[in-house]
Amino acid sequence: MNQLVENLNALMGGLFLLAAFGMVAMRQARGCLNLFITQSVLLAASAALLGVRYHSEHLYGVAIVNLISKPLIVPWLLRKTSLEEIYTRREVDQVLNIPTALLIALGLTILAYFLGRPLSNAVGSEFRGPNVSIGIAGLLLGAFTLTVRREAVPLLLGVLAMENGAFFAGIAISRNLPMLVELAIATDGLIIVFIMGVLTRAVQKHIGTTAVGELAALKEEAAEPASEEVLAK
Amino acid sequence: MSVIVLLLIPLAATALVCLPLKRAWPMGVTVAANLALLILTARLAWWVADGNAAVSAPQVWLLKWIAVDGLSALILLLIALVATTAAIFSIGYLGHENLPPFKLRLYYANYNLFIFSMLAVPVLAEPTLVWIVVELTTLCSALLVSFDNTREALEASWKYVLLSLMGAGLALFGFLVLFAAMQASGVQTAYTWNGLVAAAPKMPPILLQTSFVFILIGLGTKVGLVPMHTWLPDAHSQAPSPVCALLSGVETTAVLYVILRLFPVMHASPGAHAEIWALVLGLISVGTAAFLLLQVRDYKRMFAYSTVEHMGVILTAVGLGAAVAGYGAMQQILAHSVTKSFCFFAAGSVLLMAGTREIAAVRELVRRSPVAGAALVFGGLAITGAPPLAIFLSEFTILKAGLTQGQYLATGLLAAFIVIAFFGVMLHVNRMVFGSPTEGRMNGSSDKWMNGSQPASSDGATTPSIHQSKSPPIQPARLPFSCGLALVLAAIPVLVLGLYMPEPLHELLTQAAAVLK
């Protein structure tokens, strides 16, 4: 029984990693959202499986909170705060082309493996799952997503994916976080979506784009044209 | 005294300012609430300085994670102080532009929420909850940074949120690993800062080290330590000036406080080297910021880079050895907060007078507005550590501690960077306040300055009226009263702390430094 649960957990981990890779490569905003939802469901599934394995009600709680907040409330909140049009956006020019991005992502995953191994060894001998390494990989890939994407929604989802990664690793090694903390972190995720949604909307209204990554007026060198303007007055 | 009241006041103020009443209402409520906070935190700090630890009485639910010691009392006091002066400054600063009532209420609601989130950082003692409120400080201030809704402000706000949240993601993993380390140690204590110190000797070093590095990098992003600082000059220059004072003066410090909390944990664990990390990151920050200060073109960015520099100084001081330089680090935290908030009030006054953020476009400020000019010079001198002022004293304490430790190389580098920063800031300030417009054009380093729309008059000593016609439009002749008042109020601690350290404050700093050991 335990063996089966652990194998299933490893399967969830593999799919979780696949979803993280997908978010690096996916060009469409809606596709990114779907991948993020899948990833969150996998996180919840892994939490539930670990709960079965270690007989921890606490982890069931994590699973339920994750299942409600991320796949359900996040997309709803996004729809409320930002315009529908955003979802149909395709990013044609990413900072890196997709094969290069995936290659770097692969490198990050290997790094995550070597970072994660000693950690899960140090926690104790009873746990031997791949969760810590996969979680760190999710964290790093999320951070990497933030550096290659330019559209607002994929960037926002990248932030949430980082949190997913941190949790995927976190619940495997620290199993008894107080429930209040759990709930607070979930609420926090929703506030992130709300504030970033409002910001995106403001950017769209005042600048007329949602490719926030392309905004680059604020640099030391870019100050020159502005001073010209001042002088012209 | 119940610490929870401190958190309830800004929440109540947030609710009150949303009421659709007259324009003066949200301003009045905010000033009153923050003044009340200042009095309460001063009382609390006094009490803690006497050697008491403030813990909430009923140990239930959320309340059991509330605890205030010397270090947190110091941060609380600084937040309340800057929040009060910034609230006063906001009256004149926002009254100047004719905002619709909705915008005004939005500003003050966000302002009070931001104060709430910052106050919660030192008050809470449970690390993961602290992580959440640190994240809340980002989210509550995001809309304040983008308040002007210009292209630049929105870009700055977006960068700020994105990079801070990226850092927060890394820090979250760090905090979860820290929790795992605590469980792995087998010591049965509550997951609080003090509990961590108690459990540290038995923690697996690899877990503790990993969590420290993740938290240092993650929260260091929000503090503005150098490789991760890129968002800071943008956000801290584009926000409205009173908000800049809060962001630069206390928000960075409040987040740095969380990093400092880990040092006693690292000390307690054998084989953990927190000092090296602090020393290296601190010196890199000070050095990079010092050289960037020489080439800034926007005077608010200049003060923002100076924040990066001072965060580096504080971290370097801790890296030199918390036992010796801890007091200096605390003194620097205090001096930096009061001075930097003054600097941003001065910068805000200049912005009101001159209408531009460009250093090159502001010349002869002392003629247009003697008050703003004098404030800018005073701020520039104070923030770079000119002798009889607060930062001089604290930097001197740190350098002295470094020398007694025998860390000659680090101390020498630190001193050199501080001197470079002094010249960087004073060069720009001097040109803005006293420089003649002609000189500005020469330094603009391109010929468009010379053959622009106006004929270049090479003799600098022409009549002021001619300068006026060349200069960017000057809106008000006089600084709003509340701005002047805020400048005076903020200048008092800068002056006083340079000459004399009151006994209770000295006690508080000693208590705070003791936490670091």
Shortest Cα–Cα distance, B136 to chain A (Å): 8
Tens of pLDDT, residue by residue over B337-396, are: 999 999 999 999 988 888 888 888 888 787 778 888 889 999 999 999 888 888 999 999
Q: Spell out which residues of chain B touch residue A43, defining contact as CB-CB under 8 Å.
A: none
Do B90 and B349 contact (CB within 8 A), yes or no? no
Handedness of CA A185, B234, B29, B25 (dihedral sign): negative
CB count within 10 Å of CB B478 equals 11
Do B238 and B153 contact (CB within 8 A), yes or no? yes
Tens of pLDDT, residue by residue over A73-89, are: 888 888 877 766 666 66
User: Nearest to residue B320, comparing CAs of B212, B217, B407?
Assistant: B407
User: Nearest to residue B218, comparing CAs of A135, A162, A180, A113?
Assistant: A162
Phi/psi of residue A179, nearest 5 degrees: -60, -35
Do B153 and B271 contact (CB within 8 A), yes or no? no
CB count within 10 Å of CB A64 equals 14
Token digits of residue A65: 């909170």
In a domain, B341, yes or no: yes
In a domain, B168, yes or no: no
Token digits of residue A137: 């990989």
CA B398 to CA B396: how far, in whole Å? 5
Q: Spell out which residues of chain A touch residue B238, defining contact as CB-CB under 8 Å.
A: 218
| Radius of gyration of chain A from its Cα atoms, rounded to whole angstroms | 20
CB count within 10 Å of CB A205 equals 11
Residue B457 scores a pLDDT above 60: no
Residue the block writes with tokens 């100047």? B96
Q: How many domains does chain B have?
A: 1
CA B395 to CA B398: how far, in whole Å? 5
In a domain, B284, yes or no: yes
Do B236 and B307 contact (CB within 8 A), yes or no? yes
Nearest by CB: A122 against B169, B184, B238: B184
| Confidence band of B470 (pLDDT split at 50, 70, 90) | very low
| Contact state of A163 with B128 under an 8 Å Cβ cutoff | no
| Confidence band of B517 (pLDDT split at 50, 70, 90) | confident
Do B181 and B203 contact (CB within 8 A), yes or no? yes
Residue B321 scores a pLDDT above 70: yes
Shortest Cα–Cα distance, B243 to chain A (Å): 18
Residue A138 scores a pLDDT above 90: yes
CA B244 to CA B261: how far, in whole Å? 25
| Confidence band of B334 (pLDDT split at 50, 70, 90) | very high
Token digits of residue A31: 């596709």
| Contact state of B139 with A206 under an 8 Å Cβ cutoff | no
pLDDT of residue B446: 40
Q: B472 and chain A: CB distance < 8 Å anywhere?
A: yes
Tens of pLDDT, residue by residue over B183-225, are: 888 888 888 888 888 888 888 888 899 999 999 999 999 999 9
CA B415 to CA B274: how far, in whole Å? 22
In a domain, B148, yes or no: no
Mutation for A interface: B110, B138, B172, most A CBs within 10 A: B172
A120-125 contact pairs (CB < 8 A, 24+):
A120/A172, A120/A173, A122/B184, A122/B204, A122/B206, A122/B207, A123/A173, A123/B180, A123/B183, A123/B184, A123/B204, A123/B207, A124/B184
Q: Where are the domains of chain A?
A: 2-232
Token digits of residue B151: 């292209």
| Contact state of B184 with A227 under an 8 Å Cβ cutoff | no
CA B397 to CA B326: how far, in whole Å? 10
Do A5 and A45 contact (CB within 8 A), yes or no? no
Q: B280 and chain A: CB distance < 8 Å anywhere?
A: no
Residue the block writes with tokens 């190389």? B409
**Which domain covers residue B403, as residue numbers?**
276-448+471-517
pLDDT of residue B352: 86
* Length of chain B as a residue count: 517
Give the CA angle between residues B368, B352, B233 to the nearest 5°: 115
CA B59 to chain CA mean position, Å: 33
Mutation for B interface: A136, A218, A221, A229, most B CBs within 10 A: A218
User: Nearest to residue A71, comparing CAs of A93, A89, A45?
Assistant: A45
pLDDT of residue B191: 84
Nearest by CB: B361 against A115, A185, A230: A230
Confirm whether the ipTM is greater than 0.85: yes
Do A98 and A143 contact (CB within 8 A), yes or no? no
Residue B439 scores a pLDDT above 70: no
Do B170 and A143 contact (CB within 8 A), yes or no? yes
Residue the block writes with tokens 């240092």? B216
In a domain, B508, yes or no: yes
Name the β-bridge partners of B348: none
Token digits of residue A30: 């809606």
pTM, two decimals, is 0.89
Shortest Cα–Cα distance, B179 to chain A (Å): 6
Nearest by CB: B142 against A123, A195, A216: A195
Handedness of CA B186, B191, B70, B401 (dihedral sign): positive
Shortest Cα–Cα distance, B65 to chain A (Å): 11
In a domain, B365, yes or no: yes
Shortest Cα–Cα distance, B59 to chain A (Å): 15
Token digits of residue B342: 């003054």
Token digits of residue B119: 């106050």
Mutation for B interface: A50, A62, A81, A181, most B CBs within 10 A: A181
Residue B454 scores a pLDDT above 60: no
Give Cα separations from B241 to B248, B363, B403 (angstroms): 10, 20, 38
CB count within 10 Å of CB B11 equals 14
Give Cα separations from B122 to B1, B6, B68, B318, B379 (angstroms): 16, 11, 7, 18, 28
Token digits of residue B6: 């401190």
Question: H/E/C letters for each residue in B388-416?
Answer: CCHHHHHHHHHHHHHHHCCCHHHHHHHHH
CA A145 to CA A105: how far, in whole Å? 9
Do B181 and B205 contact (CB within 8 A), yes or no? no
Do B507 and B49 contact (CB within 8 A), yes or no? yes
CB count within 10 Å of CB B184 equals 20
Token digits of residue B375: 């404030």
Average pLDDT of chain B is 85
Tens of pLDDT, residue by residue over A174-232, are: 777 777 777 878 888 888 888 888 888 888 888 777 777 777 777 655 444 444 344 44
Do B310 and B444 contact (CB within 8 A), yes or no? no
Residue the block writes with tokens 């300055």? B449
Quote the crossing angle between the two packed helices A179-207 and A74-81, to the nearest 10°: 30
Alpha helices in B124-200 (DSSP H): 127-145, 151-185, 193-199
Residue the block writes with tokens 């994590």? A62
